[in-house]
Amino acid sequence: MVPYVSFLYSLWDIAPIQIVRFCKYMVVQFPFDVIQLVRQYHEEKSAKEEEVRLAAEEAEREKLEAEEPKKPRKRKTFAVPEKPEGEVEVVSNWKTDQTQQPDSRGTSSKPVVAGGLWTDDDIGELAKLCQKFPGGTPGRWENIASVLNRPVAEVTFMAKTVSEETSWGGTKG
């Protein structure tokens, strides 16, 4: 015996009605669908072009940053700290005018730069000279000041500041 299979057909499933529905779709809805697809394609294309343009700009910016040489960082000008009113100033017998006197090696010294900016190179040179002339060396600060062409008070103040910054592990501020 053959089992009974029930297929439900409707009037909409017959060929003449399907042909009419297809023709109506082609006239009424199809043009709008095509226009929508074309707009979507152009939007995706312009989004990709924008991404490529932004990536190119960023690569160019990174290239310019890499090519730009780093300038030495400039420090604030030196200001000699004022002494409290009750403190007595100790006068030493070291030469006071370094611009007039030749240094111990017999060459005339350059004019002293007072209150000038301390660059990273100057601070590095100060560190090297502090190692070259260790504590306890006679005339240590005068020798360092003559090499750096700066006053003794400025050199000692900056050496103290640098040593405090390195002992703290960072800068004050």
Quick one: pLDDT band at residue 53, thresholds 50, 70, 90? Answer: very high
Instruction: Yes or no: say if 99 and 109 are a contact pair by the CB < 8 Å rule.
Output: yes
Compute the average pLDDT of residues 53-82.
78
Q: Which residues contact 127 (CB under 8 A, 6 or more apart)?
A: 162
pLDDT at 55: 95
pLDDT at residue 96 greater than cutoff 60: no
The CA-based angle 79-172-121, given to 5 degrees, is 65
What is the spatial distance between Cα 152 and Cα 140, in angstroms, rounded to a whole number?
Answer: 10
- Banded pLDDT at 106 (limits 50, 70, 90): very low
Amino acid at 82: E
Question: How many CA atoms are closer than 13 Å to the CA of 11, on its beta-carbon side?
Answer: 0
Average pLDDT (42-52) is 96
